[in-house]
Amino acid sequence: MPKKQKIHVKVGDIVVIISGFHKNETGEIMKINKNTGKILVKGINFKFKHVKPNTENEIGEIKQFEAPIHHSNVRLN
């Protein structure tokens, strides 16, 4: 069983990204994973997933979602 990490922020906190592509941007924490030490910040770190159609009647699409970032890359605002 992996050790849970102590995280300095909580859900609902407004944080500033201090490193990476989204440096100096602010957002609200939506979700925390203590096992991996990652957090999900609203409006930060969007990723794209290309989905193929499953049947003939469906069409393929590109889904956009927010990916988690490590808690050490944020600070409280």
pLDDT (tens place) for every residue of the chain, 77 residues total: 678 889 999 999 999 999 999 999 999 999 999 999 999 999 999 999 999 998 888 899 999 999 999 999 999 98
pLDDT at 56: 85
Half-sphere exposure of 54 (CA within 13 A, CB side): 0
- DSSP lists the bridge partners of residue 69 as 39
What are the extents of the domains in the chain?
Answer: 14-76
**DSSP summary character for residue 20:** S
Instruction: Compute CA distances 21 → 18, 39, 56, whole Å.
Output: 10, 16, 39
pTM listed for this prediction: 0.82
Question: Starting from the edge strand earliest in sequence, which strands make up the sheet with 14-17, in order?
Answer: 69-70, 38-41, 26-33, 14-17, 74-76
CATH number corresponding to 14-76: 2.30.30.30
Instruction: Please tell me the predicted confidence (pLDDT) of residue 55.
Output: 87
**pLDDT, position 38:** 96
